[in-house]
Chain A
Amino acid sequence: MISLYVVLLPVLIALLVLLGRSSAALVRGLAFLGGVGTFALSLFLAGSEGFQGAWLPRMGVNFSLDATGAGPVLVLVAALVMIPTLLVAATRVEQNAAGFVALLLLAQAGLNGIFLSKDLIVFYVFWEATLIPGLLLLGMFGGDKRRQAALKYLVYAVAGSMLMLVSILSLKALSGAASFHITELMIATPSLSAGVQTWLFVGMAIGMVVKLPLWPLHSWLIDLNEQNHPSGAADVLGSLYKVGAFGFFAWALPLLPAGAERVAPYLLALAAVTAVYGALAAISQQHLKRFLAYGSLSHMGIIGVGLFGLHLAGLSGAIYFLAAQMLSTGGLFLVAGMLYHRRRSFMLKDYGGLAKSAPAFAGVSLFLIFAYIGVPGLSNFPGEFMALLGAFQTSPWPAAFATLAVIAAGVYGVNLYQRLFQGPTTVPTSDLSALELYVLVPFIAGVLWLGISPAPQLRQIEQQAALVTIQLERAVDAADEVPTVTLAGLTGGEK
């Protein structure tokens, strides 16, 4: 039932925030409560009992949430990131902070639904519903060009997800599955021919690539980050809502393995290009948020490489990296918001030499930048390493190409730190305030936690990754009998 509560609690708090929007203190209190409450629930999420309820039973849709596999890990990390983000939203947004906080909470509920649902239609419901809070955050609180950015985001996301819906509905119609539950679908989809699977996979892939995102369907992300509210809180949500990789991992790859085998090489090439392109583009940016957006795009490319290498280590690494980048990218976006709070500018040329007047700020930022570029011992490293290692086993050339992005990451990381904190002092800046320190502490703790002790989370992710690889192997060797372990493992997760 906890899997249901982590979806319901943020919604409930969001409604309370809207009702109490006239009192700033109440909004702050509720924001904190919502963040901490959801985090506390998600601590007990892994392995807890799932939830099943009828939704549209005659169409084969059941509202089923389940806390096995990678989902709870992502929910937990997202909940950790959301605590400081909600605090920033409640304190740094001048106009209509209640609306901002409520939209963040609604988006969090949607994200948790995406990560936990075990019914394909329910997954789609959360996937699509989460778009709206993000869109409203951009449109209501964004910068001067927010309307264009919002339209771009809407068109990319909706066009992609509608194609995904075609595939989802056809999946059941063509395979004759009894319901949209993952187990039933996995029993039925092997009967589809490789050609049909390829088409369905392509349909799903377009929707998921938009939200991964991969080059060339990424440009909405850059505009979104540039135009979002300067506090950076909405950008944190943006880094949580990169759910495309999870969509591939939990649905597209295991359901349509034969299609995946055919299409993955092309996606792998796109992902490798994205990784290098993002890293190179980041270095040439003048706008801090665009810089971070491109750097993050490069990370998503590496995640893609891990996924489409179709290897156990790569798959697990990719999802681990997906969780880890929430911390480093999210933290840096909030740092960007704190810088903006001091100088009212995101232009990198306006900064420099901040380390002299704000040494603690510089130290914390350097720590997060190190995490961002994948320094060993910090959060991004294990996932990045495994993703590339896994892809290397199956497709060495694209993986080798993507490794260039890791080298480039060192360059843009150092570049970013130099341009912000070193060099001639521009204007003396105040150091971190107590509140800002509190905001950044969860990120530091999370970065260390995921960096030093990756094993427990990786075990959970690997359970699910193993199922994906079993499905992929079955597709390659279709004559094999269905291993019963697969189905038992799917529902129980412990086998």
Chain B
Amino acid sequence: MTFPPVLNIDWSALAPALALLVTAVVTLFFGLFHKDSRHVAVTALLGVVTAFFFALARFLEPSEQVASFGLRYYGDNLALAFTFVILLGTALAILVSYDQLKRQDLDRPEYYPLMLLSALGAVVMAASGDLVTLVLGLEIMSLPVYVLSAWRTSDRQSQEAGMKYFLLGAFGSAMLIYGMALLYGAGGTFVFEGLAQSLAAGEVTVLATLGGALVLVGLGFKASLAPFHQWAPDVYTGAPTPVVTFMSVVIKVGAFAALLRVVSTVFPLLAPWLPTALAIIVAATLVIGNLSALMQTGVKRILAYSAVAHAGYLGLALLAPDHGGVAAAEFYLTAYALMNVGAFAVLSLMTDANDRGDHLDRFAGLGRRRPWLAATLSIFLLSLGGIPPLAGFDGKILVFQAALDAGWYWLAVLGIITSVVALVYYFRIIAYMYFRESEYEPPAIRSTATNVAIVVALLGTLLLGFFPGLWHNLLDVGQTLIAGF
């Protein structure tokens, strides 16, 4: 087994991450001299756009070199596709935050640097080729979000959200690191390819399987797979809406990108019960996420549980990485980023300065009072529910088809059946908006930046829905995943 040298750095693959890092540092200093966070926001947005162009350049001119630091940092299409989604989510979240921070009295300049750092962590996770890079990325991604969750310092619920997220997140990280140690003990290396080779050479050991299972649990926390999803509803409810907009997308992309790498390289070489265990986790996520969402009366909590449910649908793709599951997961995450950011962006225009007022009653009659807002929210919700021809539907049929092709019939059927439940709770919000008379005057919050984010998300949801091939055809990543060298 020969590894490429460790110091073979491919700067074009590193450029997006470095752009984010530099911008984060610059905005941190910038914030010292500007009391108004909007200037910082513009700088942060510029940084994200720069990173996007670096990623685009890399995508248009792929280099021979797949990875840097001896297969520890990938620059393949899988990493790039996830980088695009992360940058998209970050840019939209910055736009949603732009006016909201001031309105909700959250206007402190460290906000954007923390957001950029978290996005950087997610990018690193998506590119990670070994377990150490993965943990580094995970921690860089998570720590800023713990702080951001507790950003509303005057509010106990926000404090609780931050604390809860931190404690459970630390627990998850501990699991992950323990699992890493066991895998290292079994395989003698942290690099996925090396692990795959040395595990393939020997018998399946309990040590390695246990390590794989713990890694799954650790990443499951971040991906909010049941039963490790407990933090999600409380954090989503407690954290400020602009923060939720960011983390509901970026954390999920980072976690699933890492899961895809691990599942497709190391898992096939571990005990055969491990995929079954993952399937049971996915099934539990689908059932718990969807049924819990059905019980909620707050729109934010509905969307929180729906985020758990969507982790379940993504889980279907995890089980079929060799049957188009990778491209399906990437497509699904892109669609999810657009429609979920869109829904939260609309929500941020509905809640008051303390983020209260997301009860379903407040949405009654919105269709008449704010027709455009209600119509866009309906489109996001229908897309989340998987109604064609919107992006969410295309994502769903892709993951279902992948699961069916891989032979997971019962799980695909369960996923499709739980989609019925999902549609009921999404449609409930629409029914409140259109089928009832309003009892409250909806707040007249206007924000151009948020509107821009909503329009981008809306166009994306429609475009991806009507012409899914445009994006899906680019997600040609099946080989590079395994063929590291």
Contacts and interface: CB of A to CB of B under 8 A. Distances in A.
B416 A136 contact: no
B424 interface: yes
Contacts of B409: 170
B389 A125 contact: yes
B388 A173 contact: no
A409 B35 CA distance: 79
Interface in A65-97: 96
Contacts of A58: 324, 327, 469, 472-473
Contact of A132 (B387, B400, B472, B473): B387
B469 A54 contact: yes
A56 B435 contact: no
A146 interface: yes
A166 B382 contact: no
B434 A136 contact: yes
Contact of A139 (B387, B412, B431): B431
A59 B434 contact: no
Interface string A108-138: 0000000000000100111011011001100
Contacts of B427: 135, 154
Interface residues of A, number: 35
A57 B416 CA distance: 22
Given A169-B404, A173-B401, A159 B435 contact: no
Contacts of B190: none
A240 to B, nearest CB: 19
B468 interface: yes
Interface string A206-226: 000000000000000000000
B363 to A, nearest CB: 14
A108 to B, nearest CB: 16
Nearest to B475: A58
Contacts of A125: 388-389, 393
A131 B435 CA distance: 16
B contact face: mostly helix, strand, loop, or mixed: helix
B168 interface: no
A58 B423 CA distance: 27
A178 to B, nearest CB: 14
Q: Which of B382, B401, B424 counts the most A-chain CB atoms under 10 A from its CB?
A: B401
Interface in B380-433: 382, 387-389, 393-394, 397-398, 400-401, 404-405, 409, 412-413, 416-417, 419-420, 423-424, 427, 431
Interface in B261-278: none
Contacts of B109: none
A59 B472 contact: yes
A128 B420 contact: no
B424 A155 contact: yes
Interface of A: 54-59, 96, 121, 124-126, 128-129, 131-132, 135-136, 139-140, 146-147, 150-151, 154-155, 158-159, 162-163, 165-166, 169-170, 172-173
Interface of B: 324, 327, 367-368, 382, 387-389, 393-394, 397-398, 400-401, 404-405, 409, 412-413, 416-417, 419-420, 423-424, 427, 431, 434-436, 467-469, 472-473
21 contacts: A54-B469, A55-B468, A55-B469, A56-B394, A56-B398, A58-B324, A58-B473, A121-B397, A125-B389, A125-B393, A129-B387, A129-B388, A131-B387, A150-B431, A155-B420, A158-B420, A162-B420, A163-B417, A166-B412, A169-B397, A173-B404
**Which 8 pairs of residues, A with B, have the shortest CB-CB distance?**
A125-B388, A139-B435, A173-B404, A162-B416, A159-B420, A140-B434, A166-B416, A54-B469
